[in-house]
Amino acid sequence: MASSVAGVIEPALQAAETARSANRRTADLTAYDLYLRASAMVFSSAKQIGEALRPLEQAIARDPHYGPALAWAAVCCYRLVLDNRSEDPALDRLKGTDFARRALEVAGDDPGILANAALPLAYFGEDIGAMMAVVDRALALNPHYARGWSISGNLRLWAGQPDLAIEHVEAALRLSPRARTGASTYILGCADFFSRRFDEAVPKLLLAIQEDPSWPQPYRFVAACYAHVGRFEDAREIVARLRAITSVVIPDASYLRSAEHRELLLSGLHLALGQAT
């Protein structure tokens, strides 16, 4: 019952936090204002990630030890690379890794900084077991941290543990049922995909697309699902929609530590792409 109450209350508390400055974690009010403006953009849509990074970098320039800004800047860099929106992926990888490591240096016992920093570091190639341990620590500090459970599910997915990914994301959804669910349904859909439950994966991935049509990743998994079950006309339609937001249909999948999972995604996309040309 305590977990249920915390999950309902947490989104309201997060909204209230943006309206007060009692726990700013920085003495620079301008840096805090820049951080708040960036936070709103990060949660708006995938295509605003690049725009959100600029005020975060400005906040960090004013306060180089501002942990929340460092962690979210790292998340933005990771998303720019993942979504193929980076103008210089190599540079954004270096920047994202640097921001995340600096965030961990000042994180202390802040679950949000710990979890947000672990996500991009895992994507950029740090030992994923170590990054899962960082998120485990965040959740030990705050077992009711819904985003922490979602990030934990994401890392378990990348580590090749789809069943555990589902368990952790479902925990996040129970804790915060009123939060935006696009990222959660995406992870659940991917976990079904890697377990070869393609028909179960599609509706979850389509929900993620519906919530944010500018996010390329769910389109790729839907196209691969359709290709693997022989629904090539549907795969062609999804590839066409994907190409409207990015020229990259087949991405770098090195963040997936399971060779079997990488092959399942990439072979599905090659098949879908072959049918779409």
Q: What is the pLDDT of residues 16-43, one digit of tens each?
A: 443 333 344 677 889 999 999 998 888 7
pLDDT at 176 over 90: no
> Could you tell me the pTM of the whole model?
0.89
pLDDT band, residue 227 (cuts 50/70/90): very high
- Residues across the chain: 277
- The percentage of the chain sitting over the pLDDT mark of 70, rounded to a whole number, equals 88
Residue range(s) of every CATH 1.25.40.10 domain in the chain: 1-178, 180-277
- In the prediction, which pLDDT does 264 show? 98
Distances (CA, A) of 72 to 36, 79, 127, 199: 11, 10, 20, 34
**Helical (H) or strand (E) element with 186:** helix 182-194
Mean pLDDT within 77-105 = 97
Please report, to the nearest 10 degrees, the dihedral formed by the alpha carbons of residues 84, 151, 165, 93 taken in order.
30
CATH assignment, 180-277 = 1.25.40.10
Q: What is the pLDDT of residues 59-87, one digit of tens each?
A: 999 999 999 999 999 999 999 999 999 99
DSSP for 198-231, written as a single string = HHHHHHHHHHHHHH-TT-HHHHHHHHHHHHHTT-
Q: What is the pLDDT of residues 128-160, one digit of tens each?
A: 999 999 999 999 999 999 999 999 999 999 999
**Superfamily of domain 1-178 in the CATH hierarchy:** Tetratricopeptide repeat domain (1.25.40.10)
